[in-house]
């Protein structure tokens, strides 16, 4: 992604970090194209490489500034910690399994990210909700 090197990157809305069998770690994110105010490109990190840019079709008439955050507003190094906390919860419930995706959902009203990870068991399921720095905010029974 040489076109992004040295640029001040802004994420557009949600980001997904997954561990996909046979493919490893996958990151899907949308970035406001540097030096523009209304163009967003999609990038995917898979198999150790970034792919993209792919143009994103924007809908609605919202304000772009309300839908973007600096890329450093998410501490991606905490994804492993989020998985570990979710895995501990999964071990505590019958047939608990952790979904292999952490979704950083962008809250437009609060202008912040929250990470969500899902845990399913035979009799119950939970959603772990974390701040963008990987701190557990709540483990909600769904």
pLDDT digits (tens, 9 = 90+) for 54-88: 999 999 888 899 999 999 999 999 999 999 999 99
Of 105, 95, 96, residue with least CA distance to 74: 105
Of 98, 95, 96, 97, residue with least CA distance to 80: 98
Per-residue confidence (pLDDT) for residue 139, from 0 to 100? 98
Per-residue confidence (pLDDT) for residue 22, from 0 to 100? 66
* pTM of the complete model: 0.88
Burial profile 115-129: b = 16 or more Cβ within 10 angstroms, e = fewer: bbbbbbeeeebbebe
Per-residue confidence (pLDDT) for residue 24, from 0 to 100? 73
pLDDT of 20 higher than 90? no
Give the tokens for residue 138: 């709540």
Please list, in sequence order, all residues whose beta carbon lies within 8 angstroms of the beta carbon of residue 42, skipping any fewer than 6 positions away.
28, 29, 30, 31, 52, 53, 54, 55, 56
Between 21-25, 48-52, 57-61, 69-73, the lowest mean confidence (pLDDT) is in 21-25
- List the chain domain ranges: 6-141
């Amino acid at each position: 992604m040489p076109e992004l090197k040295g640029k001040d990157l802004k994420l557009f809305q949600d980001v997904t970090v997954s561990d996909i069998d046979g493919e490893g770690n996958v990151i899907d994110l949308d970035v406001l194209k540097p030096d523009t105010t209304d163009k967003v490109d999609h990038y995917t990190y898979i198999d150790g490489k970034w792919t993209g840019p792919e143009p994103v079709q924007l809908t609605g008439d919202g304000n772009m500034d309300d839908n973007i955050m600096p890329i450093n507003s998410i501490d991606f190094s905490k994804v492993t910690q989020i998985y570990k906390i979710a895995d501990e919860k999964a071990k505590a419930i019958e047939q608990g399994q952790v979904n292999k995706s952490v979704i950083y959902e962008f809250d437009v009203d609060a202008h912040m990210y929250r990470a969500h990870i899902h845990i399913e068991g035979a009799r119950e399921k939970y959603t772990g909700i974390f701040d963008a720095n990987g701190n557990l905010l709540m483990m909600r029974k769904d």
